[in-house]
Amino acid sequence: MSFSTGGLFVNESVEVARVHVPGERWESTIQRAIDEGATALPKSASNRRTLREISSRLLTLSEEDRTFLIDEAARAVCEAQVKMTWTWREERDMVKIERY
């Protein structure tokens, strides 16, 4: 999925992390992110698919990591954020490869 949705989505990941309430179901977070326009994709199906991918990445992070992602967003995109999102892609793709 990571390759088919396009990119790292650092900015979108930060927005989804911001709207997520700890302990809340991720589906609720996805719906709130859609309502708030966290992505700029033209089609609702694309928005939902991308937000599901972002959420599946974010749920692998600890609350401390999500807080770091949000806090560092106040600065320009930092190297650590890019590394975090790239790691998500690698881990996701490795899990897919291991399943097949």
**Residue 51 burial (10 A CB sphere; 0-12, 13-18, 19+):** buried
How many structural domains is the chain composed of? 1
Digit-coded pLDDT (tens) for 24-52: 999 999 999 999 888 888 788 888 999 99
- The residue segments making up the domain with residue 6 are 2-99
**Model pTM score:** 0.68
What pLDDT, on the 0 to 100 scale, is given for residue 30?
93
